[in-house]
């Protein structure tokens, strides 16, 4: 199993958590970055992917600047080597409400994102590893939003050469919300409706999808909210379509978790507080919270069945989490907020058991507000693990959102 190459940089008492048990092997202090914006959604939503590592080791992130800039608010930043983050391409016609999801394939980044107009677009960005810069490739419309309001898009590439885009969609006339799914068979040039609809047809907005490919098809985790006998019920499902099926065929659906909203202290208005990844063997791992306790369920690639829920951590005000894969050795890493700090867990047995290996903390300054400690790291990475953590920065000029950086070195 991978082990950490650094010793504790501070003891628990030095960061004000001595009253709580800290069993992490390493305590890692965060440092500031130039990644600053005015939008609280600088790296929202949690179920979407905003950060990637290319094969040259460079780190890349798309953040929302929140400026309502004519050139676009969704902006790419790149970090190569020991230097700072460098601003790059912007996605035109995006605003402070725009969110996106991306998947990296070789040196091409495939995106589905929302425009200021409400429309959903697909874009392909191409990476030059010599100059460490991105250029705009294809850009096409997925949904014009002519009679509805799409939000929270997700993108996936399957083994049959198809590109998928799923998104929550609110009907303009009825205000009812469901999840729609479109596909392209020509690399994103033309988009067609799969005619598949997911989640309950009602007014609850807490519904969001995340597409995740497997070795034999395209999977999708999606959340749903219903009402039974006056009680709001929160649920999540697994949907699956084999690579051999037609894109308009019916997707299989299977319940992953459910609980009454009244029994939970989780605050998840859009159903996005979960994280999904598929590992090198094609197993799927989904990370979520139930009454603020961190849970994981895993789908076996061979049998196609979901294992029982694995309780990873007790209630600790956890709302933001991510699961990622170290591509050097296939180990699973779990990152989650532990109160206003972050913790890192690692598994060398495919998610059956985890070790608590690091506590990531921020300096305690009066002008830093970490009450919404959103997190981001590449879903697939090689050492070191780059972790970004959102804090609110208060200065004489007002409030801004800033991403702090933690480096978590690992070794085989």
Residue 40: the pLDDT is 87
Residue 215 and residue 244 in contact, taking contact as beta carbons nearer than 8 Å: no
State the residue for tokens 């049998």.
303
Residues 6+ apart with CB under 8 A from 176: 170, 201, 202, 203
* pLDDT in 10s for each residue of the chain, 412 residues: 343 333 333 333 333 443 333 455 789 988 989 999 998 889 999 999 999 999 999 999 999 999 888 899 999 999 998 888 999 999 999 999 999 999 999 999 999 999 999 999 999 999 999 999 999 999 999 999 999 999 999 999 999 999 999 999 999 999 999 999 999 999 999 999 999 999 999 999 999 999 999 999 999 999 999 998 888 898 999 999 999 999 999 999 999 999 887 665 556 789 999 999 999 999 999 999 887 789 999 999 999 999 999 999 988 888 899 999 999 999 999 999 988 889 999 999 999 999 999 999 876 665 677 778 899 999 999 989 999 999 888 776 677 888 999 988 764 4
In this prediction the pTM is 0.92
pLDDT at 267: 63
Phi and psi torsions of 126, nearest 5°: -115, 135
325-344 as b/e: b if 16+ CB within 10 A: bbbeeebbbbbbbbebbbbb
Is residue 136 within 8 Å of residue 123, measured between CB atoms?
yes
Residues composing the chain = 412
Q: 232-236 long-range CB contacts below 8 Å, 24 or more apart?
A: 232/204, 232/260, 232/261, 232/262, 233/258, 233/259, 233/260, 233/261, 234/206, 234/258, 234/259, 234/260, 234/261, 234/264, 234/266, 234/268, 234/271, 236/274, 236/286, 236/288
Q: Compute φ and ψ for 15, nearest 5 degrees.
A: -115, 15
Residues 6+ apart with CB under 8 A from 249: 241
pLDDT of residue 409: 74
Cα dihedral 136, 141, 146, 152 sign: negative
Round to whole Å and give the CA distance between 390 and 46.
12
Instruction: Specify the pLDDT at position 6.
Output: 31
User: Which pLDDT score, from 0 to 100, does residue 13 have?
Assistant: 34
Predicted confidence at residue 263, as pLDDT, reads 61
- 280 SS3 class: coil
Structure confidence at residue 177 (pLDDT): 98
Give the per-residue pLDDT at 10.
Answer: 34
CA distances from 356 to 22, 41, 410 (A): 9, 29, 14
CATH class for the domain made up of 26-408: mainly beta
d(CA 323, CA 278): 10
Answer for the pair 247, 194: CB distance below 8 angstroms, yes or no: yes
User: How far apart are alpha carbons 391 and 97 in whole angstroms?
Assistant: 19
* Sequence spans of domains, the chain: 26-408
Coil, helix or strand for 53? strand
């Amino acid at each position: 199993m991978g082990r950490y190459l650094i010793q504790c940089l501070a003891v628990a008492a030095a960061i004000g958590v001595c009253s709580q048990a800290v069993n992490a092997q390493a305590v890692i202090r965060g440092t500031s970055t130039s990644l600053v914006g005015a939008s609280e959604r600088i790296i929202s939503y949690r179920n979407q992917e905003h950060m990637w590592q290319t094969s040259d080791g460079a780190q890349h992130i798309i953040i929302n600047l929140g400026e309502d800039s004519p050139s676009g608010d969704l902006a790419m930043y790149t970090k190569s080597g020991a230097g700072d983050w460098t601003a790059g391409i912007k996605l035109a016609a995006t605003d402070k409400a725009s969110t996106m999801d991306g998947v990296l394939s070789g040196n091409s980044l495939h995106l589905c994102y929302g425009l200021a107009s409400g429309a959903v677009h697909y874009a392909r960005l191409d990476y030059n590893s010599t100059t460490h810069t991105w250029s705009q490739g294809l850009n096409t419309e997925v949904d014009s939003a002519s009679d509805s309001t799409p939000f929270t898009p997700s993108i996936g590439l399957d083994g049959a050469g198809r590109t998928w885009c799923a998104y929550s969609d609110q009907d303009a006339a009825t205000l009812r919300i469901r999840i729609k799914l479109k596909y392209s068979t020509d690399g994103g040039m033309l988009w067609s409706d799969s005619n598949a609809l997911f989640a309950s047809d009602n007014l609850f907005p807490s519904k969001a999808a995340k597409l995740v490919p497997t070795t034999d098809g395209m999977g999708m985790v999606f959340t749903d909210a219903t009402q039974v006998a006056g009680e709001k019920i929160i649920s999540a499902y697994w949907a699956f379509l084999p690579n051999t099926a037609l894109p308009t065929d019916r997707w299989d659906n299977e319940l992953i978790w459910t609980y009454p909203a009244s029994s939970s202290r989780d605050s998840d208005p859009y159903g996005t507080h979960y994280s999904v990844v598929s590992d090198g063997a094609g197993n799927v791992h989904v990370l979520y919270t139930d009454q603020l306790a961190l849970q994981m369920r895993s789908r076996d690639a061979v049998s196609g069945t979901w294992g029982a829920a694995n309780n990873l951590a007790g209630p600790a005000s956890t709302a933001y989490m991510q699961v990622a894969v170290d591509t050097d050795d296939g180990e699973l890493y779990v990152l989650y907020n532990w109160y206003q700090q972050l913790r890192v867990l690692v598994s060398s047995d495919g998610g059956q058991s985890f070790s608590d290996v690091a506590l990531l903390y921020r300096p305690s300054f009066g002008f830093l507000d970490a009450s919404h400690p959103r997190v981001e790291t590449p879903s697939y990475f090689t050492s070191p693990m780059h972790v970004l953590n959102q804090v609110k920065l208060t200065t004489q000029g007002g409030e801004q959102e800033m991403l702090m950086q933690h480096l978590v070195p690992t070794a085989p």
